A = this chain, B = another copy of it.
Amino acid sequence: MGIAERKIRQKEEFRTSILEAAWQQVISDGWQSLSIRKIADAIEYSIPVIYNHFENKEAILLEFTKEGFQKLADTLQLVKDQYAIPAEQLEAMAHAYWDFAFDHKEYYQLMFGLGIPACDRVNEIEELKNATSIMISSIKAAIEQSNQPETDYFLKYHTYLSILHGLVSIQMIQKEGKPDSAKKMILQDAISGFIISINRINA
């Protein structure tokens, strides 16, 4: 019987309409200003219906966090596929990471900024693992081709991500709008140093 199917479909539509209304709110007024009441108001339903589709507000935020990590993963994969040499992949992905952060500032702030409260579950996000594995595989490849193939790839990945996140978040705190492209030199500088640190002989 098609009734059940229609119900599921309607439920799904309802769900996405909640997310769309929420996203609209975030775009215009930021995460801090997002509230269940405003969402309910936007979709022209009463407040408790939202709790039929999401356990709580955090669940809504988690949804966007996942979305954000998947978008990042897709972006990284797309860029990575354009290069064959691991070092070039890492450099290109670094720039893509930077661009993603500032082109999708709302996502990024949720993924890494407001994520502190929900940090217990942050490692269980599948979409995060996707993004992670894309970067790690390039790191591994770069290490294998280097003069010191015994290097701890997980350590290097951690360093790589930390540099990227550090650059982005420091930049985001200091400047309100998009950073001038000259500031991307800092990224270039740091990432060059990182890549060299993989390739160089440990003297």
Contacts and interface: CB of A to CB of B under 8 A. Distances in A.
Interface SS of chain A: helix
A122 B186 CA distance: 21
A176 B122 contact: no
Nearest to A113: B116
Contacts of A174: 119, 122-123
Q: Specify how many copies of this chain sit in the oligomer.
A: 2
A69 B169 CA distance: 17
Contacts of A120: 176
| Chain A interface residue number, banded | 35 or more
Given A112-B169, A116-B113, A189 B197 contact: yes
B186 A197 contact: no
Contacts of A163: 162-163, 166, 190
A190 B159 contact: yes
Nearest to A170: B162
A167 B194 CA distance: 14
Interface string A128-169: 000000000000000000000000000110110111111101
A131 to B, nearest CB: 13
Nearest to A173: B119
A2 interface: no
A170 B162 CA distance: 6
